[in-house]
């Protein structure tokens, strides 16, 4: 306390005390008057009610702020490849582990260390065999991560933290520096109040402690949210970089929205129709188009190669649908099947309901699944199994659609449902991914409604596959223009020095 008084002019301090004395005297005098008028108990009750109400309101606001901050938290990008899921889980784990007392906002060097640790977490996931994975990042890409994370965090703080646009770092430092002095002065005031009015002082101390906890919790929550959001932002853009979404050209990032999820919006969605010969592949395409656009399987197999058709229907992104030869013919062996399937965004696997020999189909599908799993930097395309020829299951002569397959009553409906469940089990696909259809001329059934709805439901997932497919090509094209520009600039610089 002596250091405080030595810093202040004694006469100014005396003037300040004289000015404050009448106001301070109101506290004990008011308490004495309430005691004389026997209203002290009512005043104490009113203070308890008001304090309790304010305390409850403070916690309601705290929970509301928690919800708002949680909604504003950064999440993973749905267009990331599968290998990014584990990297984001590591970032989330690090964000949840941060403690505000370990990372004060007034120390910029500490925050840089936190960001560096986040970068190392992501780099370690992508370079598990490297001792210092952070050194695998190029200097421009590192600066780009910091730039993007800082930009987003600035926007988030400005929109989510009240008065943040008026609060300067110097204010935080000054408040923190004077905190200890203010606490000592407050202790002197508390001691004097305890002498003059013990009951009031004790009650005020109790409620003041509760209010302090509430305000302290609010500040701690905000501090913790800022640290976690900082970790998430840095981790997010680091994963963006490793996923190919963060580039050094064209603004530094590949933007995407639900309406335009591809870095090349003109690139159509690629739908691949697969199946054995005479399963109904070309007939399915005709049914989807609503008009004759491909040769039907009148002969054992009339499709001699990949035949693309542009499919444009309301609600579906512009798509190319590819008719293929039967995978059980010499025209499409297993190696060729894998090659074309890896370039597709959605697979329509046509399987005949009246044929029970599905061992080869299961082998081909398992090969495709293994090939997709071996590419963690991509997403596997969704697979819809189209169960064709349902009109030929028992009883074959009956065909009186529609058929209720959820609660089948007629024999035909029971048989169709059993056939669909058998196909789903044999091919190891969920029952909801197997759509029964009839493609016979004059008997088109379940295509324009159920199958089309299934395609629309999987459109977002297929667009994510398309995004990564286009992104891979974009990444390969980025290096050469940059190298040419760098060499040209270096040449001009050296020529100017000669």
**Gap between the Cα atoms of 84 and 242, Å rounded:** 9
* 462 and 479 share one domain: no
* 140 and 198 share one domain: yes
Confidence of residue 201 (pLDDT cuts 50, 70, 90): very low
Look at the chain and report how many structural domains it folds into.
Answer: 3
Query: In this structure, what CATH number is given to the domain that contains residue 324?
Result: 3.40.50.300
* 462 and 489 share one domain: no
Confidence of residue 99 (pLDDT cuts 50, 70, 90): confident
Contact 221, 65 (CB under 8 A): yes
pLDDT at 144 over 60: yes
Q: Which of 287, 94, 3 lies closest to 296, judged by CA?
A: 287
pLDDT at 302 over 50: no
* 447 and 478 share one domain: no
| 3-state secondary structure at position 275 | strand
pLDDT at 96 over 60: yes
| pLDDT given for residue 110 in this prediction | 77
* 418 and 299 share one domain: yes
Contact 324, 340 (CB under 8 A): yes
What's the whole-model pTM score? Answer: 0.60
pLDDT at 440 over 80: yes
Q: Which of 380, 308, 312, 375 lies closest to 341, judged by CA?
A: 380
Confidence of residue 195 (pLDDT cuts 50, 70, 90): very low
Confidence of residue 159 (pLDDT cuts 50, 70, 90): low
| pLDDT given for residue 293 in this prediction | 56
259 versus 174: the higher-pLDDT residue is 174
* 135 and 152 share one domain: yes
Domain assignment of residue 129, given as a range: 59-242
* 295 and 403 share one domain: yes
Residue 72 within any structural domain of the chain: yes
Percent over 70 (pLDDT), the chain: 67
Lowest mean pLDDT among 71-80, 296-305, 306-315, 459-468: 296-305
* 229 and 321 share one domain: no
- How does strand 307-311 pair with strand 319-323? antiparallel
| pLDDT given for residue 412 in this prediction | 94
* Highest-confidence segment of 50-54, 231-235, 437-441, 490-494: 437-441
Residue 480 within any structural domain of the chain: yes
pLDDT at 366 over 50: yes
Confidence of residue 65 (pLDDT cuts 50, 70, 90): low
Please give the average per-residue pLDDT across 242-264, as a whole number: 52
Residue 168 within any structural domain of the chain: yes
* 237 and 329 share one domain: no
188 versus 349: the higher-pLDDT residue is 349
Residue found under tokens 């005949």: 352
What are the tokens at 360?
């080869």
* 394 and 345 share one domain: yes
* 236 and 323 share one domain: no
């Amino acid at each position: 306390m002596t250091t405080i008084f030595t810093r202040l002019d004694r006469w100014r301090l005396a003037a300040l005390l004289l000015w404050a004395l009448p106001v301070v005297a109101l506290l004990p005098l008011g308490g004495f008057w309430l005691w004389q008028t026997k209203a002290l108990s009512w005043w104490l009750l009113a203070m308890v009610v008001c304090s309790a109400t304010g305390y409850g309101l403070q916690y309601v606001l705290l929970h509301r702020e928690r919800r708002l901050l949680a909604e504003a938290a950064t999440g993973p990008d749905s267009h990331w490849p599968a290998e990014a899921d584990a990297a984001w889980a590591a970032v989330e784990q690090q964000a949840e582990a941060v403690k505000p007392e370990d990372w004060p906002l007034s120390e910029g060097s500490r925050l840089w260390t936190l960001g560096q640790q986040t970068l190392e977490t992501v780099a370690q996931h992508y370079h598990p065999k490297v001792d210092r994975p952070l050194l695998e990042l190029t200097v421009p890409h590192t600066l780009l991560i910091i730039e993007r994370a800082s930009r987003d965090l600035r926007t988030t703080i400005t929109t989510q933290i009240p008065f943040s646009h008026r609060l300067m770092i110097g204010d935080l430092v000054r408040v923190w520096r004077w905190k200890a002095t203010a606490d000592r002065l407050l202790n002197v005031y508390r001691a004097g109040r305890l002498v003059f009015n013990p009951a009031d002082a004790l009650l005020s101390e109790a409620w003041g402690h509760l209010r302090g906890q509430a305000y302290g919790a609010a500040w701690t929550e905000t501090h913790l949210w800022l640290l976690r959001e900082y970790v998430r932002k840095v981790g997010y853009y680091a994963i963006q970089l490793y996923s190919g979404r963060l580039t050094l050209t064209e603004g530094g990032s590949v933007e995407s929205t639900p309406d335009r999820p591809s870095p090349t919006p003109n690139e159509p969605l690629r739908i691949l129709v697969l199946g054995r010969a005479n399963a109904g592949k070309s007939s399915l395409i005709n049914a989807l188009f609503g008009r004759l656009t491909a040769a039907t399987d009148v002969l054992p197999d009339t499709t001699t190669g990949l035949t693309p058709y542009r499919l444009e229907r309301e609600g579906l992104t512009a798509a190319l649908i590819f008719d293929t030869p039967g995978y059980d013919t010499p025209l499409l062996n297993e190696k060729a099947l894998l090659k074309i399937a890896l370039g597709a965004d959605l697979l329509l696997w046509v399987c005949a309901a009246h044929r029970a020999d599905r061992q080869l189909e299961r082998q081909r599908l398992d090969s495709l699944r293994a090939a997709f799993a071996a590419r963690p930097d991509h997403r596997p395309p969704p697979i819809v199994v189209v169960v064709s020829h349902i009109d030929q299951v028992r009883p074959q002569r009956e065909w009186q659609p529609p058929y209720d397959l959820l609660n089948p009553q007629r024999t035909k409906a029971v048989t169709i449902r059993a056939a669909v469940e058998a196909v789903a089990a044999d091919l190891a696909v969920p029952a909801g991914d197997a759509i029964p259809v009839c493609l016979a001329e004059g008997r088109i059934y379940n295509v324009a409604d159920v199958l089309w709805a299934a395609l629309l439901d999987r459109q977002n997932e297929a667009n994510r596959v398309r995004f990564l497919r286009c992104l891979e090509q974009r990444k390969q094209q980025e290096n050469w223009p940059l190298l040419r520009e760098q060499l040209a600039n270096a040449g001009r610089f050296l020529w100017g020095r000669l």
